[in-house]
Amino acid sequence: MTRRGPGRPRDPATDAAILAAAMELFVERGIDAMSIEQVAKRAGVAKLTVYRRWTAKEQLVAHAIEWVIEQHEWPSNAEIATGTPAEIVESTLDASAELAASPEFRALIARILGSSVSNPTLMATYWKHYILPRREATAVMLDNAKQAGMIAADADVDVLMDMMAGAVVYRVLQPDPPDAAEMRRYLTELYRRAGLLP
């Protein structure tokens, strides 16, 4: 994740400019064709400013991906782990549908999938720092759903998480991408079939 350098407190606006530039370059060129120098130039900052925050481009891009997703109002990991499954799902439906229906999200998913082969370091960094903590919180939510009798007691939560995530990726990368309204309908049906909505 990010590393704080010595000296003055970091400027959030500078962080945002760097992360936005990194995301733009990642989507445009892919991880292998971009560099820290290019990010610094596009963000309008010195190269050293970027290196003080992120020591490698894989680390920077992994954080930038999560930063883009965090622009939407998601529940925290603690809220996911402690809220009722239906409450958590319903509270994220609109934001999830808007994000999944956006062209930017489709382009991002395509780049992430491509990078999983060409640059496994990026995927390992993103998985460790961002995906894994969210999966761990979601696993607790699914265990709560088991205890509430919403899903089968012997259901494999890893399989359930992969099914839900995979369904979304498969749908948004089809030639006829859904708009936000259709994506909301799709997600509602998906979560209902998974046993998380009545």
CA 161 – CA 10 distance, rounded (Å): 36
- Tell me which residue of 37, 70, 41 sits closest to 54, measured CA to CA: 37
Tokens of 67: 């930063």
Phi, psi of 75 (to 5 degrees): -65, 150
Residue 34 pLDDT: 96
Residue 106 pLDDT: 93
Residue 76 pLDDT: 80
CA 143 – CA 157 distance, rounded (Å): 8
Asked if 50 and 36 touch (Cβ cutoff 8 Å), the reply is: yes
Q: Nearest 5 degrees, angle CA 139-CA 140-CA 142?
A: 65
Residue 77 pLDDT: 79
Task: Note the pTM of the prediction, 2 decimals.
Answer: 0.82
Burial class of residue 25, CB neighbours in 10 A (0-12, 13-18, 19+): buried
- In terms of phi and psi (left: phi > 0; alpha: psi -120 to 50; beta: otherwise), the region of 195 is left
Residue 45 pLDDT: 97
Look at the chain and count its residues.
Answer: 198
- Tokens 């709560």 belong to 144
8-state DSSP, 128: I
Query: Mean pLDDT in each 10-residue stretch from start to end of the chain (198 residues)?
Result: 49 94 95 96 97 94 89 78 88 92 92 89 89 90 92 95 95 93 97 92
